[in-house]
Structure 1
Amino acid sequence: MPDGRPVTRWTIGSPDGVRAEVLSLGARLQALHAPDRDGRRANVVLGCERVEDMLGEGAYLGATVGRYANRIAGGVLPLDGTTHRLTTQPTGHTLHGGTDGFATRLWDGVPVREGRRAGVRLRLHSPDGDQGFPGALTVEVTYLLHPDGRLWIGYRATTDAPTVVNLTNHAYFNLAGEGHGTVLDHLLRVESRGYLPVDAGLIPIGPAEPVLGTPFDLREARRIGDRVVDEDRQIRRAGAGFDHNWILDGTGFRRAAVLSHPASGRRVECLTIEPGLQVYTGNHFDGTLSGPSGRPYRAYAGVALETQHFPDSPNRPAYPSTVLRPGEEFRSMTVYCFSAG
C-alpha cells in the first residue's frame, strides 16, 4: 500500500480444477482459474496486478463494494427522521459506498475450512460517519471454494446504530479468459420478469417494468452482443449496454442467472438469497486498464453479475429495506458454480 502496509493474497482450490485468488485489498476476488471442456485452464475474471490500479481506475474489479453497493441519489440518506449527507462521485450520486468505499480498504483475513470447502474470512471495521454513513459497522466476508467448482461468498454485518447495508462482489467475468476479447459472444440468462428503468444518472425512475418485449427479457439464454446493439432507450442510456437491476423471481436461495461461453464450454451459474441482480456489461472500459494478460480492457471486456438489494432503496420506501439496526445481523450469501461441457 502507499503507506507501506502489505497486501496479502490467499490462493484456494485445486491445481487441476477451479482455483481462486483473494486479496486483502478490497476483500477482492483477483483471479479465478477454471478449465474449459478440454481441461484447458484460464483466468475468467478481470483483475489488476498493480496496487495503484486497485486504488484508482480498477478499484471495483472483483472487490467487495459497500457500505452500500450501487447508487444512492444525490448522496442523500434519510433515516429515522435525519438526513445524512454521503460522499459523492463526480456524477453527484453516491456509488458503491462513496469516494473511499470498502473496495479500497485493507481487510484483515484468516484462512478457514468448513468440511470440504476451504477459503478465507476477511473482516473490516467501518467507523461511525464513514463516508457520511451513520453507525459503526463491523463486516465479514467469507470466500469458500468447494472442489466441485462452487465458490461461496457469505456476508455478515452488525452495527451500533441504525444504518443501511447493501454488499456485493463486483467481479467481471469473461469465460473465454481474462483479456481474451469481449463477452459479446456469451449467453446470459436471468431469472426475472421485471427490471428497474433508470434516468440519465442511472438512478431508478420508479417501479419495475416487465421485461417482456424488451432487450431485458433474458428468461431464456440470449447472446449479449445481440442485446447491447438494440436501440432501446434504456440500453443507450447506460452507454450501449446493461447497467440495470433485475428483480429476481422468487424468494430464498435460488438461481439468479446463468452465463455461458459456447466456444469454450465454460459456464457459471449464480445463486443467491438477494432480491436483485445488477448486470453491468463493462460498457465504459476504454483501454486504460490492463490485467495479468497484459491486454487492455476495452468495452465489454467482462460482465458483472452483482447480487444485491435495489439501487437507491433508502429513498424508495416501496423497495425492500436495507436498514440494519443494533441487535440485528445482516446476512447474505451468493454462490457461483463453475462448470464446463
Structure 2
Amino acid sequence: MKIVSGEFGQYQGEKVYSYKLENNQGMSITCITLGCIITEINTANQNGEFENVVLGFDDVDSYIEKSPYFGAVIGRVAGRIDKGEFDLNGETYTLPQNENTNHLHGGPEGFDRQLWQASTFEKEDEVGIEFSYRSKAGEAGYPGNLNVRVTYILNNQNEIVVHYFATTDKDTLVNLTNHTYFNLSGNVKQDILSHELTLKSQKVLELNESFIPTGKFLDVANTPFDFRDGKKINDAVSSNDPQIKLVGQGVDHPFLLDENHNEEICLSDEESGRKLIIETDEQSVVVYTSNMLDDSFTIRDVQSSKYLGICLETQGLPDSIHHPEFSPCILKAGDEYKTTTIYKFTTK
C-alpha cells in the first residue's frame, strides 16, 4: 500500500495537489484537492492489464473550463432545486440559477469548484485521504456554516470506500454525492452503450420538462428503466419512451433503491471483463448516461461525445425540499450528516 502526492496545478493563485492511492494488487485511485475530484481509477481487466476506468483531465484549466462535474464531490445539494429557492423554518432562501431556472449541483461555485484541505493516512491493509472544507453561511445562498469531510479509502479488496460527514450551526440543506463518469472499457476505448447495468430498483422518479421530479414514482416493469435483471445501456437509451427522449435520448433519473449494502448497483463490461459493484446506505441512485455530453472538447486524447461515461450518483432524492413525501435533505444544527458508498472493482 502506498500514497504518492504531487502538485497538479494552480487555481485562483493557490496550489492544487494530487494524491495517488495504490493497493497491493496494483489498483490505484488518483484525486485532487480541487473539488475532491477523482481524476483516475486504474483497475485490471480480465487479462490483468491495468487501465483507467473514469473520465477526467490532466490539468486544472480543463476541469474549470470544460468539465461536466467529472469525478467531483457535489454539494451542498446534489441535483436540481426547482426555481433556485426554498423555504426553511419560515425563511425563504434564494440560490443562483445555473441551469435555466434551476439551481444545479450546488450552483456555479459549488463544492466542485472549491479547494479542500487534505490529509492522508496509511494502514496495513488500506490507505486513504480525508478532504475537509468549511462552507460559510450564505455561500451559494444556503444558511448555516457547514463543516464537511469526505474520505476516500482504498483497501486490498479493490474497494474504494467513500464516507461523507457534515455538521452545521444552523438548519440547512445537505445532499452530497460523487459525480464520477465510469467507462469500464479501459482508457475510453469505446462508449458505454454495451455496458450492462443491474439495479435493485422497482421505482424511478418521473421528471417534468425542467428535469425536476414531479413527485410521481413510476413502476419500472415493462419500461426501459427496468434494470432489475440486467440490461445493456443501449437497450434503454434507444427507446422511444417519453422520459428517455425528454433528457436527450438517455437516462438522467433517480431510482429508488430496494436494498442497501447488498450489491444493489452493478455495472459490467463484457469485453474487458470488468465489473463494478456499488453499495450504499443512500435511498436512491441517479443514473446518468452522459446524454448531454457534446463533441466540443477532448477528454485527454479522446473526443468527447454522448454516452462516453455513466454516472451512478448515490444520494437522497433530488429536490426533496419541495416534496414532503420524500425523505428531507435537511440537516439540523447540532446533528451530523453521515453516509457511505462503496465501489468494489472485480472481473467476471
TM-score normalised by L of structure 1? 0.97
User: Secondary structure at 1:55's aligned position in 2?
Assistant: helix
Equivalent in the alignment of 2:274: 266
1:1-341 to 2 correspondences below 5 Å: 1-14=10-23, 16-113=25-122, 116-250=125-259, 252-292=260-300, 294-341=301-348
Conserved? CA contact 1:254–1:273, under 8 Å: no
User: Secondary structure at 2:15's aligned position in 1?
Assistant: coil
Q: Quote the Cα distance in structure 1 between the aligned partners of 2:209 and 2:187.
A: 30
AA matched with 1:272: T
Q: What is the deviation of 1:254?
A: 3.5
Conserved? CA contact 1:58–1:289, under 8 Å: no
Q: Which runs of 5+ in 2 are unaligned?
A: 1-9
Does the C-alpha gap of structure 1 residues 254 and 235 become closer, same or farther in structure 2, counting only changes over 3 Å?
A: same
AA matched with 1:32: I
AA matched with 1:141: V
Q: Quote the Cα distance in structure 2 between the aligned partners of 1:282 and 1:80.
A: 37
Identity of aligned residues (%): 34
Conserved? CA contact 2:23–2:154, under 8 Å: no
Alpha-carbon displacement from aligned partner over 1:289-340 (angstroms, at most 9, x marks no partner): 3223x11121000000000001100111110111101110000100000001
Conserved? CA contact 2:96–2:141, under 8 Å: yes
Does the C-alpha gap of structure 1 residues 114 and 199 become closer, same or farther in structure 2, counting only changes over 3 Å?
A: farther
84-93 or 60-69, larger mean C-alpha shift? 84-93
AA matched with 2:276: V
Q: What is the deviation of 1:287?
A: 2.0
199-208 or 227-236, larger mean C-alpha shift? 199-208
User: Secondary structure at 1:54's aligned position in 2?
Assistant: helix
Conserved? CA contact 1:18–1:35, under 8 Å: yes
Q: Quote the Cα distance in structure 2 between the aligned partners of 1:3 and 1:324.
A: 30
User: Secondary structure at 2:328's aligned position in 1?
Assistant: coil
Q: Quote the Cα distance in structure 2 between the aligned partners of 1:109 and 1:311.
A: 28
Alpha-carbon displacement from aligned partner over 1:107-150 (angstroms, at most 9, x marks no partner): 00010235512110000110001100111100000000011210
Q: Quote the Cα distance in structure 2 between the aligned partners of 1:99 and 1:168.
A: 16
AA matched with 1:331: K
Q: Quote the Cα distance in structure 1 between the aligned partners of 2:103 and 2:62.
A: 21
User: Secondary structure at 1:110's aligned position in 2?
Assistant: strand
Does the C-alpha gap of structure 1 residues 186 and 97 become closer, same or farther in structure 2, counting only changes over 3 Å?
A: same
- Report the number of matched residues: 339
Q: Which runs of 5+ in 1 are unaligned?
A: none
AA matched with 2:78: A
Q: What is the deviation of 1:15?
A: 6.9
Conserved? CA contact 1:59–1:104, under 8 Å: no
Conserved? CA contact 2:186–2:272, under 8 Å: no
TM-score normalised by L of structure 2? 0.95
Q: Quote the Cα distance in structure 1 between the aligned partners of 2:122 and 2:334.
A: 27
Alpha-carbon displacement from aligned partner over 1:261-293 (angstroms, at most 9, x marks no partner): 00010000000000000000000111223223x
Does the C-alpha gap of structure 1 residues 9 and 236 become closer, same or farther in structure 2, counting only changes over 3 Å?
A: same
Q: Quote the Cα distance in structure 1 between the aligned partners of 2:69 and 2:189.
A: 20
Q: Quote the Cα distance in structure 1 between the aligned partners of 2:270 and 2:118.
A: 36
Q: Quote the Cα distance in structure 2 between the aligned partners of 1:248 and 1:190.
A: 8
User: Secondary structure at 1:287's aligned position in 2?
Assistant: coil
Conserved? CA contact 1:31–1:46, under 8 Å: yes
Does the C-alpha gap of structure 1 residues 59 and 285 become closer, same or farther in structure 2, counting only changes over 3 Å?
A: closer
Q: What is the deviation of 1:59?
A: 4.9
AA matched with 2:177: T
Q: What is the deviation of 1:230?
A: 0.2
Q: Quote the Cα distance in structure 2 between the aligned partners of 1:181 and 1:214.
A: 26
Q: Quote the Cα distance in structure 2 between the aligned partners of 1:92 and 1:256.
A: 33
Q: What is the deviation of 1:49?
A: 1.7
Alpha-carbon displacement from aligned partner over 1:35-89 (angstroms, at most 9, x marks no partner): 0011011100000122122113205100001000011001012111111001111
Q: What is the deviation of 1:2?
A: 4.1
Does the C-alpha gap of structure 1 residues 192 and 181 become closer, same or farther in structure 2, counting only changes over 3 Å?
A: same
Conserved? CA contact 2:163–2:338, under 8 Å: yes
